[in-house]
Structure 1
Amino acid sequence: MVNPEQYVSFDNICKNNASHIINEFAKDLKNISGKCMDIGCGPGDITRDVLLPVLNSKATMIGTDIMEDMVEYANKTYGDKERLEFEVLDIQTKKLPEKYISKFDHIFSFHALQWCYDIRQTFENIYCMLRPGKTMLILSIAQQAPLFESLETMAQDMRYASYMGDKKKYVGSFHYSARPREDLKELLEDIGFQVHHCSHREMSNCVCTEKYLSMVTSQYTFAFLNKMTHNLREEFKNELARMFTEIKVKKYRDRLGNSKLHDEKKGTNIPAQYTVLVAYAQKNVS
């Protein structure tokens, strides 16, 4: 369910990962002084507190998100008439608003594009929004078995299927790829980007499952929860937490060669492993 305040209170993982990538590319970003966009900005805290400070003081930023509630909260809480504002945008749209075309000097996106089921359209839109020769920096979850595979299974469960729709919406575009870095790089180059950096990185966290899933389900992809009865919604959340923990523990045991885990029943302190794709690319000048 969409809850901006709840999302902010649980988004330390996203914030830490964004900060790490921003610091890694700080030398390239510090001279950006034009118009920027943060795609999938959510409640806006990362846009203001992590992205904007690293840019040139003359840079301005538009945070965009598909959720009206998130954008409204972001404008009220973090909006700045001089440098920062937030607007509603579906980055997968096939009719990109004219006001965005060839208007941006740099585009960011962190922990958002994994929910885009039409990933080619997504990157084509980013390419169209950039000015010639300008750049983008993205971090997107590539593979995350506990979450994606739990949701994929639940989307085929008769209790939830009519609410969730196509199971493809819940599995990142590169989750089942044997070569996600190469696939992303080839896609970007085919669209017209000059790829300066593309990497596939292993990550992990030990965050409380309940808190993590509360953050995840506050995003647009899970708007269907609002249509469920209270009892069914709670059943869905409990089932998601159960399956998430079950897969997390299984993957962890597999990595340890099926060694016995003292806390495997609860999944306590067992890290959730996942991978991310990081890309820094430039739109061709011609």
Structure 2
Amino acid sequence: MVNPEQYALFDGSCRSTVSLILDEFAKDLKNISGKCMDVGSGPGDITKNILLPVLDPKATVIGTDIMEDMVEYANKTYGDKERLRFEVLDIETKNLPEKYISKFDHIFSFHALQWCNDIRQTFENIYCMLRPGKTMLLLSVARHTALFEPLETMAQDKRYASYMGDKKKYVGPFHYSVQPREELNELLEDIGYQVHHCSHREMSSSCTSTEEFISFVTAQYSFAFLDKMPHNLREEFKNEFSRMFTKIKVKQYRDIQDNYNLNLHDEKEETNISAQFTILVAYAQKNVS
């Protein structure tokens, strides 16, 4: 159920987090004036309204996404002939198009790489697309119990398994990592990056509504399988996903409050609690040689 308009309508939490990260690295980014790429740009609103304004006015950006529908919507809604256009790219491809190799001065990715199964191939492709000495800034979800673990369970449920496929597709590559920051840093250095910053951070979603979050996340590529489900089964899936997501985030809230006797009997009150998760932030440079 890939839906660019629905995605853009409910991605406020992502916009807020991206703004904070860009502010943090503003000193480095304001001088970027060359050719840039935003990997996993989705409907294009964040690329256009948040990323592009913080770069040098001479910078140009290509937003890439795996879904043609997203790219078509982004070009129609946010693309322009001078600084911004959108193209289809599977960042995990083993056959990177020649037109992208060693062409970019900076590559960004926000809230996208958690859906990549082959994370090493992903970072190798980004490395290949950068010019020597140029940089990458990424923000990716690391651990998200309320999101990943219900999907992992549901992918093994006989009602949904034939539609969803391998359960590994629904769990971020660092979700079960004991030391995600160290693991990411080591991976990047092994590929050849010079890592200037790598951090693992606790987060609390600014989107407290379960209904809005489910609407946002199911509009993404990883949930394209919903289009293949009969309507009744699709609604059953969303209701079950919503129930499991809410159960976990309520438990997280109670654990944080250290109050297991907390009474949350009202359904609206339960669904309007922030989900807890962590993110990885990395700023790295391709070696000159």
8 Å CA contact 1:61–1:84 kept in 2: the answer is yes
Alignment of 1:1-286 (within 5 A): 1-205=1-205, 206-263=207-264, 266=267, 267-286=270-289
> How far did residue 265 of structure 1 move?
5.6
- Give the aligned residue type for 1:275: T
Q: Percent identity, please.
A: 77
Q: Distance in 2 between matches of 1:258 and 1:152?
A: 28
1:63-102 CA-partner distances (Å, limit 9, x unpaired): 0000100000000000011100000000000000000000
Q: Distance in 1 between matches of 2:18 and 2:252?
A: 26
How many residues are treated as equivalent by the alignment?
Answer: 286
Q: Distance in 2 between matches of 1:116 and 1:257?
A: 34
- Using a 3 Å threshold, how does the CA distance of structure 1 residues 135 and 264 change in structure 2: closer, same or farther? farther
- Give the aligned residue type for 2:216: M
Where does structure 2 lack aligned partners over 5 or more consecutive residues? none
In structure 2, the residue corresponding to 1:143 is in which secondary structure?
coil
1:237-266 CA-partner distances (Å, limit 9, x unpaired): 000000001111122223333432232563
1:106-141 CA-partner distances (Å, limit 9, x unpaired): 000000000001100000000000000000000000
1:159-186 CA-partner distances (Å, limit 9, x unpaired): 0001001101000000011100000000
Q: Distance in 2 between matches of 1:224 and 1:232?
A: 12
8 Å CA contact 2:40–2:110 kept in 1: the answer is yes
8 Å CA contact 2:4–2:69 kept in 1: the answer is yes
- Give the aligned residue type for 1:14: C
- Give the aligned residue type for 1:89: L
8 Å CA contact 2:106–2:135 kept in 1: the answer is yes
> How far did residue 270 of structure 1 move?
2.2
- Give the aligned residue type for 1:133: G
8 Å CA contact 2:4–2:219 kept in 1: the answer is yes
8 Å CA contact 1:103–1:130 kept in 2: the answer is yes
- Using a 3 Å threshold, how does the CA distance of structure 1 residues 253 and 5 change in structure 2: closer, same or farther? same
> How far did residue 39 of structure 1 move?
0.3
8 Å CA contact 1:105–1:135 kept in 2: the answer is yes
- Give the aligned residue type for 1:126: I
8 Å CA contact 2:35–2:105 kept in 1: the answer is yes
Q: Distance in 1 between matches of 2:266 and 2:84?
A: 46
8 Å CA contact 2:113–2:119 kept in 1: the answer is yes
In structure 1, the residue corresponding to 2:142 is in which secondary structure?
strand
Q: Distance in 1 between matches of 2:56 and 2:259?
A: 51
Q: Distance in 2 between matches of 1:274 and 1:102?
A: 34
Q: Distance in 2 between matches of 1:186 and 1:36?
A: 25
- Using a 3 Å threshold, how does the CA distance of structure 1 residues 117 and 265 change in structure 2: closer, same or farther? farther
8 Å CA contact 1:107–1:136 kept in 2: the answer is yes
Q: Distance in 2 between matches of 1:74 and 1:112?
A: 16
Q: Distance in 2 between matches of 1:264 and 1:76?
A: 45
In structure 1, the residue corresponding to 2:183 is in which secondary structure?
helix
8 Å CA contact 2:208–2:271 kept in 1: the answer is no
> How far did residue 269 of structure 1 move?
3.4
8 Å CA contact 1:104–1:134 kept in 2: the answer is yes
8 Å CA contact 1:249–1:264 kept in 2: the answer is no
